[in-house]
Amino acid sequence: MAIAATISLSVSPTTRHSAAAAFNPFRSSSSTTVSVSFSPALRITSLRSSIPFRNPSFRVSATSMSIQAPQQTSSTSFLDRRESGVLHFVKYHGLGNDFILVDNRGSTEPRISPEQAKKLCDRNFGIGADGVIFALPGTNDTDYTMRIFNSDGSEPEMCGNGVRCFARFIAELENLHGNHSFKVHTGAGLIVPEIQGDGKVRVDMGEPILKAADVPTGLPANKQEAVVKSELDVDGVTWNVTCVSMGNPHCVTFGTIENKLNLAEIGPKFEHHVMFPARTNTEFVQVCSPSHLKMRVWERGAGATLACGTGACATVVAAVLEGRAGRKCTVDLPGGPLEIEWREENNHIYMTGPAEVVFYGSVAL
């Protein structure tokens, strides 16, 4: 698969480097925007000099490599390109939960198939991401429609971190600045993200779904129609769980998050448990205080991720139902914190957090 990824690098003004190489372009104090061409088919080209990097060093090895200064290109003109057989994209992340964003406003069907999305999400042979998100035309009086394919090719109803990235992507596509909100149609219903003055995105996630049959879960309801602090046998071990849907299913369990918790081992056992006919996301949560929770997550269709927005929302709902926390909490995830509020007056949940550009790119399909 030929991939052209676009990023911004600060390097010393080298013009060519041949033979197998390993370098850190961020060590130089001088700044030159470069194009790095890899054999056989990988190109990294700068489009914007202000893209932030959380990991300021990396290594590249290649048998031959050329570095040259490209012509300046704006992100707008890049995203406006239309080439047959080429997919232009922008990679975003929300607290490390990363996505490939595709401008799909010209069609009601995604430009690529679930199988193609799975290949693009591969972190060794593709671009690398937790999912591919498509910005499609709105429907039912909404401004836009958001669809997402997970890294395993499945399609979830919604994604909390993804919808924040979606909002920032739309603002860039439409050249919007300052505070803006959008009505977004998703598989979980209407979602309303609002870009705030500080660049963060607050999202009205709607009301949580607690009725056991609608989560869905086969566990019997034990608190009105909800499953709250119910026993679940997972491979011979009993866990106390609370089940919540944010338009997608979540199973939340509280305890002490230990480093020895093996998500890769225990996560799939929850995800594919017979009590969750649509599979489930699973949150392992530690209560630090009534307003501070720590969470690790196994996402349905994506595995262990650095953050899960709907999972953070479900966690606060579960904590309130179990009497462990208040309705306004900071939820710490491996990728960083989210601010979650479950308002009593309208039963809606509000999530606030960042969404940032990683790089721009193109891939031959």
With 60 as the cut, is the pLDDT of residue 241 above it? yes
Residue 76 banded pLDDT, cuts 50, 70, 90: low
More confident residue, 323 or 4: 323
Q: Which CATH class is domain 212-347?
A: alpha beta
Q: Same fold for the domain at 3-206+355-364 and the one at 212-347?
A: yes
**Residue 338 CB-density burial (10 A; 0-12 exposed, 13-18 middle, 19+ buried):** buried
The stretch 72-98 carries a mean pLDDT of: 79
pLDDT digits (tens, 9 = 90+) for 103-126: 999 999 999 999 999 999 999 999
Catalytic residues: 159, 308
Residue 74 banded pLDDT, cuts 50, 70, 90: low
The stretch 340-359 carries a mean pLDDT of: 97
With 60 as the cut, is the pLDDT of residue 96 above it? yes
pLDDT digits (tens, 9 = 90+) for 249-289: 999 999 988 777 899 999 999 999 999 999 999 999 999 99
Where in the chain are the domains?
3-206+355-364, 212-347
Residue 187: predicted pLDDT:
95
Contact assessment for residue 214 and residue 202, using Cβ atoms and an 8 Å cutoff:
no
Residue 84: predicted pLDDT:
74
Looking at domain 3-206+355-364, which of 3.10.310.10, 1.10.10.10, 3.40.50.450, 3.30.465.10 is its CATH number? 3.10.310.10
The stretch 54-78 carries a mean pLDDT of: 38
With 50 as the cut, is the pLDDT of residue 44 above it? no
